[in-house]
A = this chain, B = another copy of it.
């Protein structure tokens, strides 16, 4: 098994508790025996890591105490935050010291840095893609989940091609069914954006377009790849999360029933770790409010992506 190192941004995310990072690393090391992690963060994190009982032979640390605010402009990100943990972690991937980066920081800075330092495939706009549950033992890949607030039909078509590559190269599905998220499944429904994107997809014989899918069928496994703009995708998944949260976070006896009622395949931490597709490097975004278990899942996802060298394979596939 080849040795793989993941660069972890230890400063991003809502929690800056070193113990949360340590728990995540403990889970991740248990889940995957050939994982190495290079942590970028503050001195307090280094102290805590040094004192921890983690396997130190699988761990290295780089001091990078700065965090990039979620709402920093692209210009500010590139000029003022060269020593930030996320910047340094992405540079480690660029320089080959790590094979993938994991960050719970803001999407904006992550996309800006990945585009700038790693570069885009065929001038595509990168998109965040996540595995979502589609019933027992079924999954769909959904993109974009927030890298692009507004998109053109050709952006959506690019997202479809990127998703197609992931299903073929990583999930082993030869001819995945690609659908566009829309307000109805009927042909004539929806915005010009989704209709034009659907037409572009239909005109490409190398991919299989299944038309439209409605948001109430998002978790039914109707499509292998669900294509949408980053604004709609982000809103759809957050609305779904919001309702799941309402069920899970009730008071008293209802909370207990909710835990018993939850479908096993709908545990949210099973699904942490979106991949930024369309850049020349393996970049994984973890949820800002991810638990330690969820962050561990994102780190292991990053390992799998790096092991396949997925982003490089996608680049070869789309540029050949």
User: A residues bordering B, Cβ < 8 Å?
Assistant: 70-71, 73, 108, 146, 149-150, 181, 183-184, 186-193, 214-220, 230-232, 234-247, 250, 253-255, 257-258, 260-263, 266
Contact residue among B70, B71, B219, B230 (Cβ-Cβ distance under 8 Å from A243): B219
Kindly state the separation between the CA atoms of A71 and B189 in the bound complex, as whole angstroms.
7
Q: Is A247 a contact of B231 with CB atoms below 8 Å?
A: no
Q: Is A215 a contact of B234 with CB atoms below 8 Å?
A: yes
Given A242-B216, A243-B240, answer yes or no on A235-B181 (Cβ-Cβ < 8 Å): yes
In the assembled complex, how far is the CB of residue A37 from the closest CB belonging to chain B, in whole angstroms? 29
Kindly state the separation between the CA atoms of A220 and B215 in the bound complex, as whole angstroms.
21
Q: Is B183 a contact of A146 with CB atoms below 8 Å?
A: yes
Q: Is B70 a contact of A184 with CB atoms below 8 Å?
A: yes
Q: Is A234 a contact of B186 with CB atoms below 8 Å?
A: no
Kindly state the separation between the CA atoms of A215 and B146 in the bound complex, as whole angstroms.
13
Contact residue among B149, B190, B216 (Cβ-Cβ distance under 8 Å from A231): B190
Q: Is B192 a contact of A216 with CB atoms below 8 Å?
A: no
Kindly state the separation between the CA atoms of A262 and B218 in the bound complex, as whole angstroms.
21
Kindly state the separation between the CA atoms of A287 and B216 in the bound complex, as whole angstroms.
13
**Residues of B close to A216: CB separation below 8 A:** 238-239, 241-242, 245
**Residues of B close to A239: CB separation below 8 A:** 215-216, 218, 235-237, 239-240
Q: Is A235 a contact of B234 with CB atoms below 8 Å?
A: no
Q: List 29 A-B contacts (CB under 8 A).
A: A70-B184, A71-B189, A146-B183, A149-B190, A149-B191, A150-B193, A183-B230, A183-B231, A214-B238, A215-B241, A216-B238, A217-B242, A220-B242, A232-B232, A235-B235, A236-B236, A240-B242, A240-B243, A246-B263, A246-B266, A247-B261, A247-B263, A253-B260, A254-B262, A257-B258, A257-B260, A258-B258, A260-B261, A261-B261
Kindly state the separation between the CA atoms of A45 and B37 in the bound complex, as whole angstroms.
69
**Residues of B close to A70: CB separation below 8 A:** 184, 186
Contact residue among B183, B186, B215, B250 (Cβ-Cβ distance under 8 Å from A263): B250
The residue on B at minimum CB distance from A234 is B183
Kindly state the separation between the CA atoms of A223 and B253 in the bound complex, as whole angstroms.
29
Q: Is B192 a contact of A150 with CB atoms below 8 Å?
A: yes
In the assembled complex, how far is the CB of residue A1 from the closest CB belonging to chain B, in whole angstroms? 37
**Residues of B close to A250: CB separation below 8 A:** 261, 263
**Residues of B close to A220: CB separation below 8 A:** 242
**Residues of B close to A244: CB separation below 8 A:** 243
Kindly state the separation between the CA atoms of A146 and B108 in the bound complex, as whole angstroms.
29
In the assembled complex, how far is the CB of residue A35 from the closest CB belonging to chain B, in whole angstroms? 31
The residue on B at minimum CB distance from A220 is B242
Q: Is B242 a contact of A262 with CB atoms below 8 Å?
A: no
Kindly state the separation between the CA atoms of A188 and B72 in the bound complex, as whole angstroms.
9
**Residues of B close to A190: CB separation below 8 A:** 149, 231
